């Protein structure tokens, strides 16, 4: 009887330890997603601490968030079918945060951005919009968020002189319908006109400017919250 009691106690202790380990692992996690924004690079594989976590990731299509361990992590980006990384660096991820990792620029001069994503709710009735210039060859740009049917001339940019490889702060505005323009900085030359877009209260969005493979530029929308 005593032996059986000790066996049960030991099993209970092991289960508690195992469950505790899972809890600790979960509490030390963060969320990470990826975007391949280098137009002439082709599909890529992403490795985290030498383990492949994304294979054959195509141009301009963001991944979903994935849960990874927080802390100092070694990230590599390799063209699919190659074992030579075009990006090889160490990043630091805080526990409980959300991040977007973007490979941008042309393949001959590729760089990377690690963005901290805002998961906090906007003020009641508002949305938050952030803009990222990952459009290889675009130069500095001005971004306008205007009422549908309004054009940039005569209106100040919402975000001005946004350089390649740079993300703006989040802009808090009232929910509703807007038209987004991306212009060459300081000019009326329009790279992108989204037409009317509708936003519901409580949404956080990141818009990433990309070089279109067919010529010109386009915006990719990342859903940060809701």
Q: How confident is the model at residue 26 (pLDDT cuts 50, 70, 90)?
A: low
Q: How confident is the model at residue 8 (pLDDT cuts 50, 70, 90)?
A: very low
Do the domain assignments include residue 102? yes
The model's pTM: 0.87
Which of 117, 148, 171 is the last residue before a domain boundary? 117
Do the domain assignments include residue 50? yes
| CATH number (domain holding residue 52) | 2.60.40
Q: pLDDT at residue 140 above 70? A: yes
**95-136 per-position pLDDT tens digit:** 999 999 999 999 999 999 999 999 999 999 999 999 999 999
Q: How confident is the model at residue 7 (pLDDT cuts 50, 70, 90)?
A: very low
Do the domain assignments include residue 8? no
Q: Are residues 128 and 146 in the same domain?
A: yes
Q: Are residues 109 and 128 in the same domain?
A: no
pLDDT score of 213: 82
25: phi then psi, degrees, rounded to nearest 5: -60, -45
**202-226 per-position pLDDT tens digit:** 999 999 999 988 889 999 999 999 9
Q: Are 208 and 199 in contact (CB under 8 A)?
A: no
State the Cα–Cα distance between residues 148 and 169, nearest whole angstrom. Answer: 23
Do the domain assignments include residue 168? yes
Q: Are 38 and 107 in contact (CB under 8 A)?
A: yes
**50-105 per-position pLDDT tens digit:** 999 999 999 999 999 999 999 999 999 999 999 999 999 999 999 999 999 999 99
pLDDT score of 23: 35
Q: Are residues 106 and 137 in the same domain?
A: no
pLDDT score of 47: 98
Contacts of 102 (CB under 8 A, 6+ apart): 34, 35, 37, 112, 113, 115, 132, 134, 208
Full residue range of the structural domain in which residue 49 is found: 28-117
Q: pLDDT at residue 150 above 70? A: yes
Instruction: Compute CA distances 188 → 74, 108, 155, 221, whole Å.
Output: 42, 30, 11, 23
pLDDT score of 214: 84
**164-189 per-position pLDDT tens digit:** 999 999 999 999 999 999 999 999 99
């Amino acid at each position: 009887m005593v032996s059986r009691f000790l066996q049960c106690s030991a099993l209970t202790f092991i289960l508690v330890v195992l469950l505790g380990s899972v809890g600790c692992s979960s509490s030390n996690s963060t969320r990470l997603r990826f975007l391949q924004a280098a137009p002439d690079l082709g599909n890529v594989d992403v490795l985290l601490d030498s383990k492949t976590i994304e294979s054959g990731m195509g141009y301009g299509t963001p991944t979903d968030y994935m849960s990874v361990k927080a802390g100092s992590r070694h990230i590599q980006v390799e063209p699919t079918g190659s074992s030579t990384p075009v990006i090889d660096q160490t990043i630091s991820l805080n526990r409980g945060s959300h991040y977007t990792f973007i490979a941008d620029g042309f393949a001959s001069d590729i760089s990377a951005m690690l963005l901290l994503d805002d998961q906090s709710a906007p003020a009641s009735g508002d949305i938050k919009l952030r803009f990222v210039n990952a459009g290889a060859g675009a130069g500095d740009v001005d971004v306008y968020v205007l009422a549908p049917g309004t054009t940039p001339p005569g209106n100040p940019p919402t975000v001005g002189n946004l350089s390649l490889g740079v993300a703006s702060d989040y802009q808090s505005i009232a929910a509703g319908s807007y038209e987004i323009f991306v212009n060459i900085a300081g000019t009326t030359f329009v790279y992108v006109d989204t037409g009317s877009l509708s936003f519901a209260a409580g949404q956080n969005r990141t818009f990433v400017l990309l070089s279109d493979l067919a010529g010109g530029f386009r915006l990719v929308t990342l859903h940060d919250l809701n």
